[in-house]
Amino acid sequence: MVSKKKKKYSTGEGAQFLTRKAALKKLQLSLRDFRRLCILKGIYPREPRNRKRAQKGDTSIKTLYHVKDIQFLLHEPIIWKLRDYKIFNKKVGRARAVKDFETLHKYLNNHPTLKLDHIVKERYPTFIDALKDLDDCLTLCFLFSTFPSLSHVPRDQSALCRRLTLEFLHGVIEAKALRKVFVSIKGYYFQVEIKGEIITWIQPHHFAFTPQSRGEVDFKLMSTFVEFYTVMLGFVNFRLYHSLNLYYPPKFSAVTQSDSEKSLVDEEVFVSERVAALNFPLAKTSNTETDECELDEFNMEGDAEKLEELRKEAEKFLKVKKLKTLFKGLKIFLNREVPREPLVFIIRCFGGEVSWDKDMFIGSTFDENDESITHQIVDRPSIDKQYISRYYVQPQWIFDCVNARDLLPVNKYFIGEVLPPHLSPFIDPEKDQQYIPPEARAIYDENELEQHHKLENDEDEAESESEEEENEDGENNEENGNADEVDEAVEDDDEKKKKPKLSVTPGKVHKEVPWEKNKQERQEFRLREKMIKRKYKNLYKSMMEGKKERSKEIWLLRKKRRLHDEGEAKKKKEEKKQKKKATAVDA
């Protein structure tokens, strides 16, 4: 039997990939529906090892999909729902063209609905899987929650994003899961820890919205992502609330409606406004409160590595426990010009009480004239009426306290003070090839922090000292130096007389020559470079070039910082000289 010759590109990469055109033909979908289906199911284009073989000899660049992914989409029931939408649009268009409004009204009342619950369960079988992929979901939902009514974004979608994000913030407040915050030009960065998973998202600033043109941003594509993310976030909120023994949708435990409010708003609006305030505790399904776990001590002798790991875990646990009650016992009042929502969220996450002017927004719990207020957050150069019993600080004090995990001194954050640098808490101090400013290094290294304070104190003392004291110190040092030299010479003579004669000659310490050691290391490194395989050499070269560029960037930033510090020091010296001259002239 003569075996048949296999047809070219029938096996291997030629049979494993499909172009987008072939995928549309196989699924019998339009490009718009295909893109929507791929976003919902999490199917993305693939990059083959050999593009020419995958494209069956074609050298042009095309969008390729894996054959198994397209076969996976063939069995999706949403495809039939998308075809129902197509039929529905044709019927509605025909009825509108004929002006048969009765039939049109009947079609619009019975339009097909697309349910995505099964896709969420399919993509995220467990709650932990959903938490791992929650970063992009929260970032996009917070972005859409700030949108007004746009032509490409449904109004109901923005309202749904607003409701779900506020519910998630309430869950984080009750769980006390917030760990890091940072303010940038993009917005507020928040990082929380839920069930051991780290989740980071960006909440944009509430500025006046300026809509972009359709060519700059594809709102339809983003809206498709949000359509899936809202369903996913609803599942996450439901599980999060039930794990915290909370009612879902959220209910309030100790909030009553006044008679004036009852006449103005209904119950649904009342609850939604209180949810948006972020200032009320939620009602729990049971009154039993779970006590925080305490650390047990075990005797584990002989296993140093496990002991070190347990010690690190215990330190981390204690730091987190202290962080959860950072603002406990503080009553903080927010001024009108301060961003309310992020500050209320942060303060309540760490056990503090917060309020604002009741005319500004609903949900205030105490007035400005309350004598028990400890801090008032102000973001203006001056304020007319001030109370002696409280501190007036700028908003950065809240963010810096959270990142430092301690209540910082308030003197650097008073009204009108030049604020210290707001450092990012997302810098990894153990990671190399990145620039870390000296203030950030001082936070992670206690020795550097002490040296930083010593340098500041030494500079102040050196500038306050007079020239006469310096001259006197120099003369005294010379006299002491001469006396020390005489004492050392006498001691050497005494030692020579007392030293007994030994028969054993002392050994000599072999000193390594540093330049020879460096030369040997460079030679060994070159030999290791020659051992790299040929197919990895280009990758290695690009890695080394990137390393050189990063080191050059770090060097430039350090130089820029050094020149800046020198300039600031010169300015301070000149200002002090001018003050001295002015005082001398006045005298």
Render pLDDT for 452-462 as a digit per residue (tens, 0 to 9): 555 555 555 55
Cβ–Cβ contacts within 10 Å for residue 445, how many? 13
Q: Which helix (H) or strand (E) holds 70?
A: helix 67-74
d(CA 170, CA 569): 47
pLDDT digits (tens, 9 = 90+) for 428-443: 766 666 777 777 776 6
Q: Which long-range contacts (CB under 8 A, 24 or more apart) does 237-242 make?
A: 237/164, 237/167, 237/168, 237/171, 239/127, 239/130, 240/168, 240/171, 240/175, 240/194, 241/167, 241/171
What's the pTM value of the predicted model, to 2 decimals?
A: 0.76
Q: Is the dihedral of CA 313, 428, 431, 546 positive or negative?
A: positive
- Looking from the CA of 224 toward its CB, the CA atoms found within 13 Å total 14
For residue 261, pLDDT beyond 50: no
Domains of the chain, CATH where assigned: 13-76 (no CATH), 117-207+218-277 (no CATH), 327-426 (3.40.50.10190), 428-459+543-564 (no CATH)
- 317-368 residue pLDDT tens: 788 888 888 899 899 999 999 999 999 999 999 999 999 988 888 888 888 8
Do residues 403 and 423 lie in contact, with contact meaning Cβ atoms separated by under 8 Å?
A: yes
Average pLDDT over residues 495-509: 61
- d(CA 97, CA 94) in angstroms, rounded, equals 5
Question: Which range has the worst mean pLDDT, 275-279, 371-375, 426-430?
Answer: 426-430
Is the pLDDT reported for residue 489 higher than 60?
no
| Digit-coded pLDDT (tens) for 99-135 | 888 898 988 888 888 889 999 999 999 999 999 999 9
Q: What is the DSSP letter of 328?
A: T
Burial class (CB within 10 angstroms; exposed 0-12, middle 13-18, buried 19+) of 62:
middle
Q: What is the average pLDDT score of the chain?
A: 81
Task: Compute how many other C-beta atoms are within 10 angstroms of the C-beta atom of residue 195.
Answer: 13
**Average pLDDT for residues 263-292, to the nearest whole number?**
68
pLDDT in tens, 49-65: 888 888 888 888 899 99
Answer for the pair 344, 278: CB distance below 8 angstroms, yes or no: yes
